[in-house]
Structure formats: structure tokens, C-alpha cells
Amino acid sequence: MKTLDVSVVTPDGPVLEDQFDMVSCKAENGELGVLPGHIPMVAPLSISSVRLKQDDNDSVSLAVNGGFLEVRPDKVTILAQSAEKPAEIDVQRAEEAKKRAERRLQSQQDNVDFQRAELALKRAMNRLDVAR
Ligand code: ATP
């Protein structure tokens, strides 16, 4: 069976490079499932998990923070601002980031950048989701 050559890269360096049967992710305009032979495309990714499926039962999830998915017929490249495997996620750090963001969103101060706090909250919740 044909597979996809998947590589995940962040500004800190490569995160993962392996063969998979399917890539599922959340692009900004919806869920996307990529199988070998998919038409070439580029899509912006949301703060979400990317699921990499190997065989029928084995799969790896990554918490990705934005970036792009590039699909070629037998190759998928994910270029993200950050990408972590479940074991790499520091749960306590993510819980603290979540609390910090929630405090900022609840505060009435006008020096708070709400959009920034919302994004931080999304990143933290996504990490907690993938770590579980
Ligand atoms: P924090 O406020 O805790 O720094 P953040 O969402 O602002 O979280 P990012 O800017 O998304 O952090 O990431 C900066 C770097 O830290 C990236 O390399 C990312 O992989 C890493 N990182 C952030 N949070 C965690 C975490 N909970 N566990 C492991 N690595 C993390």
C-alpha cells in the first residue's frame, strides 16, 4: 500500500519525519483528511491537533500552533509555529498558561490584549487536549 512521507517542521527544527497512511488535521476552513495521491494544495492550519495514522490502529497526535499544511501526491509537509508530541507536552505549564489567559480574558482592564489572550488560551487548551 502507498504511504505518505510526512515531515513536521517548526522554527526550532524538525519535529517528526516518517511514513503514514493518513493525515487528519483542521485547516482554517474545516477538517481535512489526506490520503496518498491527494491533489496538491496548501492550507493554513488552525491551533489544533494533527493526527497521523499508521496502519489500522497506530496513530500519533501532535499539538500544532498555526502554520501551513502543504500536500503533494506522496508528501505532506507541516510548517508550524510550534508542534509537540503528547510526551513532549508539559501539562503543568499548559495549565498555568490556561489560567493566565483566562484571568486576562476576565479582567476589566483595558490594557489587556484580548485577542492575544484568546490565542494563548487556545494553545493551552489544545496542548492539554493532546496530552490526554
Ligand atoms: P507559554 O505561555 O507557556 O510560553 P505559549 O502558548 O505562549 O505558552 P508558544 O509561544 O506557543 O507558548 O511556544 C513557545 C515554545 O514553547 C515552543 O517551542 C513550544 O513548543 C513550547 N511550549 C509551549 N508550551 C509548552 C508546553 N506546555 N509543553 C511543552 N512545550 C511547550
Tell me which residue has its CA closest to atom 5 in ligand 1: 120
Pocket lining for ligand 1, CB < 6 angstroms: 12, 65, 82, 84, 88-90, 93-94, 97, 120, 123, 127
Domain 4-84: which topology? ATP Synthase; domain 1 (2.60.15)
Find the largest Cα–Cα distance for the chain: 57
Q: Where in the chain is the domain with CATH 1.20.5.440?
A: 89-131
pLDDT digits (tens, 9 = 90+) for 8-38: 999 999 999 999 999 999 998 899 999 999 9
- Tell me the C-alpha distance between 36 and 20, whole Å: 9
Q: What is the CATH number of domain 89-131?
A: 1.20.5.440
Ligand 1 atom closest to 88 (CA): 29
Residue 17 CA, ligand 1 centroid: distance in Å: 21
Tell me which residue has its CA closest to atom 29 in ligand 1: 89
Distances, alpha carbon 8 to alpha carbons 93, 97, 106, in Å: 23, 24, 35
Q: Where in the chain is the domain with CATH 2.60.15.10?
A: 4-84
Average pLDDT, the chain: 94
Q: From edge to edge, which strands make up the β-sheet containing 82-84?
A: 30-34, 22-27, 48-54, 58-65, 82-84
